[in-house]
A and B are shown apart, each in its own frame.
Chain A
């Protein structure tokens, strides 16, 4: 393809970044520049625009692929199609008013976003949520982690061509969303937590619903494993696909299941316990090869570990208040804070600068999807087009969070 096709991939200074940066040596290898006559068969590489409207880019991600046949020579992610300026909005809202906005970033794990934000502001205010609130927060956050992983599993399997698990995982996710709906009235963007604790007490029967879920879901996870884990095609499509080493993950700032599948035992719930995760007994599943299959296994095991945490939490909810003593008007002292939690997709960090007014001076979000997406190019170089789709699925991005 000629340059005319790639102009939209140019950066503002006119250079062709990343995907097209390998261009010069590819031209040198494919076209013999010394001989003037064109080769009989045109063997130029192909620039393929995947997205922003594409069934497998999980929203409005645009990936520009440079291909040699089906082989990927380089990629370039074009993001920003879902940019809503969430961080800028924060500067014009009070701390309380901004709380619902964070749900709209990673909308499939809205509760994790809310937890991170509320805890960051609590740290800034130097208050601590009461234990009962923390227990309920943990239960809801872990339920949300399972629902996020279930959605990932369904869409990832769909990307690889197995369409049926999607419907099964959505059926089970529905049970979690029902609990959320009963708890706070919303299913997706829940706004479940408040700065200082919770607004709502649990509804009657909350514990029973959660325990029902705990008894019903492990067998379903077994079902998915039966459908996929031993499936020859699934193994062939995921083993040694999108391999990334632990060092590369750390160098790129990749966190979450992607990092753990590469053998690095790093989970903020253990490394820097927040809420009351230190009360619970659970393990951090890790992989060895850092390929798509390991990431799949890690997430499946994580769901089971989350179930363990929920079981311990729901059996040990203490009595007591659900709200700490927080002033009506939240006016943190001048200062800055960085607080990060282990969201389903990785480290979700909030950096908040306070100038002492009712509105944050600056909120910077460290979204796991955005950072993890950087690894895409490294993971798919030299693989095939079908692997790009599998790798986008396995990184588990949510474009709302990538673009913010």
Chain B
């Protein structure tokens, strides 16, 4: 079974065409667990990064350097009393976080973590993704309306206004990227997520740098719109803390509240994945066309192992720096153990990389190729996640009407202009 599983990870058959429903199901489970785990990590990373931006330490008490904080938070949320306000529409109140969660997780079904590392490869992948990811706003509107309270209602209204002002510009930016896929010898483009990445490989350029600065402009429009889409600062109007207390989820508590948080972070990673897929070459490592050959392949396949080794070194350094007081002794052991786990993973990855390069056709080799794809994809997504946190620490919040003004008066014309110019340039060059 392990053999079959690993062969799937490294398989060259696109998953949608594999016709193996069982493997698709297992893949769904992996993604569900992976995204949930990533959200837990993001919780810790965001709190730590924000704290360091703000000359604080952040969580330090639960586990070494607060590493167990997300689990403590999760446990607390599970055990909290589940309150439904007396005047709330019970069914809508119950269903809203579920909509949000389902919408955020469904998007992952078409995200290609690698050429074959996806649940399915739809020929309308990007369209599906945009459609489903904007369903998240439905969850917010439902939650705000169902709460039967003023602050959530206003959060909901803001959310719907935000959605209409940004979705259009976002769509235009995406269309200009799709248009770029058609500038090839066949003259046909694609909406498939995998196809879009492959088009970037064929055209030997990330769409970010294609027709410079057209690709960059479209990317910037998308990068702004995706922050608005996920309701993150500086566009966190539906949950603007200083204005609407907690906005649409004011009345939510416990597990239902955590569903919203889970959906928010899952959506952040999902839109980052779209940006990576459309403009940053998806799963491809840097310079896949230029730096070809077994030597380069081996070098780049070392990166996952090196990353984990770096993390392990950082952890070990942190453990060594801890004071010798009894309270810290336990934490020190914990941190060292965490470092050891990271180190072990690094070693494992190193072994796979070396074994895989010895014979690219064997199991380890195929696994290594798949691993490399997933690694580069996640690394690019991580950059966006860092940016999300950076924005939050840096910028004040836009006002409701200003946000719409930026959406309609700046971003829509820019994205439309980019689309038209891209089309003209593409035709002239083709």
Which residues of A pack against B, CB within 8 Å?
46, 48-49, 54-56, 69-70, 157-164, 166-168, 171, 227-228, 231, 233-234, 236-237, 384-387, 389
Q: Assess whether B245 is interfacial by the CB under 8 Å rule.
A: yes
In the assembled complex, B73 has its CB within 8 A of some CB on chain A: no
Question: Is A385 within 8 A of B154, CB to CB?
Answer: yes
A209 CA to B395 CA, complexed, in Å: 33
| 8 contacts across the A-B interface (CB closer than 8 A) | A162-B397, A227-B394, A233-B397, A237-B396, A237-B399, A385-B154, A389-B242, A389-B243
Q: CB within 8 Å of A: which of B134-158? A: 150-151, 154, 157-158
The answer, yes or no, to whether B112 is at the interface (CB within 8 Å) is: no
Cβ of B54 and Cβ of A161 under 8 Å apart?
no
Q: Which of A157, A160, A166, A384 contacts B401 (CB 8 A)?
A: A384
Cβ distance B379 to chain A, nearest Cβ, rounded Å: 26
A347 → chain B, closest Cβ, in Å? 28
Q: 1/0 per position for B39-72, CB-CB distance to A under 8 A? A: 0000000000010011110000000000000000
Contact B396 A233 (CB under 8 A): yes
The reply to whether B154 and A70 contact each other, CB–CB distance below 8 Å, is yes
A9 to chain B, nearest CB (A): 15
Given A161-B396, A161-B397, A233-B397: A171 in contact with B55 (beta carbons within 8 A): yes
Interface string of B231-265 (1 = CB under 8 A from A): 00110110011111100000000000000000000
Please determine whether A164 and B53 come into contact, CB atoms closer than 8 angstroms. Answer: yes
Quick check: B395 and A161 within 8 Å, CB to CB? yes
Nearest-CB residue, chain A, relative to B392: A163
Contacts of A167 in B (CB 8 A): 54-56
Judge whether A233 and B234 touch: CB under 8 Å.
Answer: yes
**Residue on A with the closest CB to B161?**
A70
Interchain CA distance A162-B233 in the complex, whole Å = 9
B398, CB-defined interface residue at 8 Å: yes
Interface of B is mostly: helix
Q: Using Cβ atoms and an 8 Å threshold, which residues of chain A touch B53? A: 164
Q: Provided the pairs A161-B240, A163-B393, A171-B55 are in contact, do residues A55 and B398 lie with their beta carbons within 8 angstroms? A: no
Per a CB cutoff under 8 Å, which of B151, B236, B395, B400 touches A384?
A: B400
How far is B54's CA from A236's CA once the two chains are assembled, in angstroms? 24
Do B242 and A158 have beta carbons less than 8 Å apart? yes
B292 at the A interface (CB under 8 A): no
Since A70-B157, A161-B234, A167-B56 are in contact, a sample of 9 more A-B pairs with Cβ atoms closer than 8 Å, ordered by chain A residue number, is A55-B242, A70-B158, A160-B242, A161-B396, A164-B393, A233-B395, A233-B396, A233-B398, A236-B398
Q: State whether B150 touches A48 (Cβ < 8 A).
A: yes
Q: Is B402 an interface residue (CB 8 A)?
A: yes
What's the nearest-Cβ distance from chain B to residue A171, in Å?
Answer: 6
B54 and A69 contact, CB distance less than 8 A: no
Find chain A residues with CB under 8 A from B399 CB: 236-237, 384, 386-387
Measured CB to CB, the nearest residue on chain B to A168 is B55
Which residues from chain B contact A159 at a C-beta distance below 8 Å?
Answer: 242
Tell me the complex Cα distance, A56–B402, Å: 20
Nearest-Cβ distance from residue B236 to partner chain A, whole angstroms? 8
Task: List B contacts of A385 (CB < 8 A).
Answer: 154, 243-244, 400
Max count, chain A CB within 10 A of own CB: residue among B244, B399, B402: B399
Q: Once the chains are docked, how many angstroms separate the CA of A227 from the CA of B54?
A: 13
Residues on the A chain within 8 Å of B395, using CB: 161-162, 231, 233
B420 to chain A, nearest CB (A): 27
Query: Of residues 149 to 178 in B, which have CB atoms within 8 Å of A's CB atoms?
Result: 150-151, 154, 157-158
Distance of A323 from chain B, by nearest CB (Å)? 41
B residues sitting closer than 8 Å to A (CB atoms) are 50, 53-56, 150-151, 154, 157-158, 233-234, 236-237, 240-245, 392-402
A237 to B395, CA, bound (A): 11
Taking A384-B399, A386-B243 as contacts, is the C-beta distance between A161 and B233 under 8 angstroms?
Answer: yes
CA distance A356 to B141 in the complex (A): 67
Q: Is the CB of A55 within 8 A of B54?
A: no
| A162 and B395 alpha carbons, distance in the complex (Å) | 5
Given A46-B150, A161-B233, A167-B56: A70 in contact with B400 (beta carbons within 8 A): yes
Instruction: Report A-chain residues with C-beta under 8 Å of the C-beta of B233.
Output: 161
CA A387 to CA B398, docked complex, whole Å: 11
Q: Is A54's CB under 8 angstroms from B245's CB?
A: yes
Q: How near does chain A come to B180, taking the closest CB pair, in angstroms?
A: 30
Contacts of B393 in A (CB 8 A): 163-164
Residues of B within 8 A of A228 (CB): 396
**Nearest chain B CB to A218's CB is how many angstroms away?**
19
Contacts of A233 in B (CB 8 A): 234, 395-398
Name the CB-closest residue of B to A388.
Answer: B243
- Report, nearest first, the 7 A-B pairs whose CB atoms are least far apart: A161-B397, A167-B54, A162-B396, A56-B242, A161-B396, A160-B396, A386-B399
What's the minimum C-beta distance from A32 to chain B, rounded to whole angstroms? 24
Do A386 and B54 form a contact, CB below 8 Å, given A46-B150, A162-B394? no
List of A residues within 8 angstroms of B396 by Cβ: 157, 160-162, 228, 231, 233-234, 237
With most chain A CB atoms within 10 A of its CB, the pick from B154, B396, B399, B402 is B396
In the assembled complex, how far is the CB of residue A339 from the closest CB belonging to chain B, in whole angstroms? 37
**A56 adjacent to B243 (CB under 8 Å):** yes
Q: Report the minimum CB–CB distance from B160 to chain A (whole Å).
A: 12
Beta-carbon nearest neighbor of A167 in chain B: B54
Q: Which of B151, B243, B395 has the most CB of A within 10 A?
A: B243
What is the distance, in angstroms, from A320's C-beta to the closest C-beta of chain B?
41
Closest to A386 in B: B399
Q: Which of B56, B242, B400, B401 contacts A161 (CB 8 A)?
A: B242
Minimum CB–CB distance from A394 to chain B (whole Å) comes to: 13
A159 to B245 alpha-carbon distance, docked (Å): 11
Give the nearest-CB partner of A65 in chain B. B150
CA distance A76 to B67 in the complex (A): 47
Q: Are A237 and B242 in contact (CB under 8 A)?
A: no
Which residues on the A side are within 8 Å of B237 (C-beta)?
Answer: 386
Docked pose: A69 CA to B400 CA in angstroms: 11
User: Are A163 and B54 in contact, CB atoms less than 8 angstroms apart?
Assistant: yes
Nearest CB of B to A395, in Å:
15
Shortest distance from the beta carbon of B198 to any chain A beta carbon, whole Å: 38
Chain A residue with the shortest CB-CB distance to B405: A236
Q: Would you give the shortest CB distance from A153 to chain B, in whole angstroms?
A: 12
User: A310 to B411, alpha carbons, bound, how many Å?
Assistant: 49
Contacting residues, chain B, for A384 (C-beta < 8 A):
399-401
Q: Are B402 and A236 in contact (CB under 8 A)?
A: yes
Task: Tell me the complex Cα distance, A161–B402, Å.
Answer: 14
* B residues near A387, Cβ cutoff 8 Å: 399
A376 to B240, CA, bound (A): 21
Chain B nearest CB from A143 CB (Å) reads 22
User: Once the chains are docked, how many angstroms separate the CA of A168 from the CA of B241?
Assistant: 20
- Nearest B residue to A159, CB-CB: B242
Complex: A386 Cα to B54 Cα, angstroms: 24
Which of A48, A162, A231, A234 counts the most B-chain CB atoms under 10 A from its CB?
A162
